[in-house]
């Protein structure tokens, strides 16, 4: 029965993770010395493969994190721009509403002043007659 430790990424039938379940060259008629030499060689090859896989994973992880950081910076910049646009828009709308409000009161004051002046003139004309 072939057993492979978790995390093995070699995929080759000749490379086993567990020393005791490594394919034995004795079955092929070779001596025990050759068997243990090949076991050590296979183990070293496997460790090298695992090391390369880990280095590749670290490199991929760094690249992925760098990409995520760039995306996060873009998102933050976009959010800041949107927030600033919203603030400017709100300030502009508030200014427009305030101006509209002030214009309404100016017009109303002008109308009331004209009305008061016309009433005073009417009273003066009535008083003169």
Q: What is the pLDDT of residue 38?
A: 62
Q: Could you tell me if residue 2 is inside a domain?
A: no
The percent of residues above 70 in pLDDT, for the chain, comes to 69
The number of distinct structural domains making up the chain is 1
Q: Could you tell me if residue 28 is inside a domain?
A: yes
Average pLDDT, integer, range 59-83: 91
Residues spanned by the domain of 98: 19-128
Residue 122 and residue 128: Cα distance in Å, rounded?
10
Q: Could you tell me if residue 6 is inside a domain?
A: no
CA 28 vs CA 17, 25, 32, 34, 75: distances in Å: 21, 5, 11, 11, 62
Q: Could you tell me if residue 101 is inside a domain?
A: yes
Q: Could you tell me if residue 107 is inside a domain?
A: yes
Between 111 and 22, name the one with better pLDDT.
111
Listed ranges 24-28, 35-39, 102-106; the one with the highest mean pLDDT: 102-106
């Amino acid at each position: 029965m072939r057993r492979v430790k978790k995390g093995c990424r070699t995929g080759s039938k000749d490379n086993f993770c567990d020393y005791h379940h490594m394919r034995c060259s004795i079955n092929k008629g070779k001596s025990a010395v050759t068997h243990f030499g090949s076991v050590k060689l296979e183990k070293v090859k496997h460790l090298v493969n695992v090391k390369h896989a880990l280095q590749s994973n670290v490199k991929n992880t760094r690249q992925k994190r760098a990409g995520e950081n760039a995306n996060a910076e873009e998102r933050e910049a976009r959010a800041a721009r949107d927030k600033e646009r919203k603030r400017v828009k709100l300030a502009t709308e508030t200014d427009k509403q305030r101006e509209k409000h002030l214009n309404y009161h100016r017009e109303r004051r002008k109308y009331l002043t004209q009305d008061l002046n016309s009433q005073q003139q009417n009273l003066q004309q009535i008083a003169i007659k």
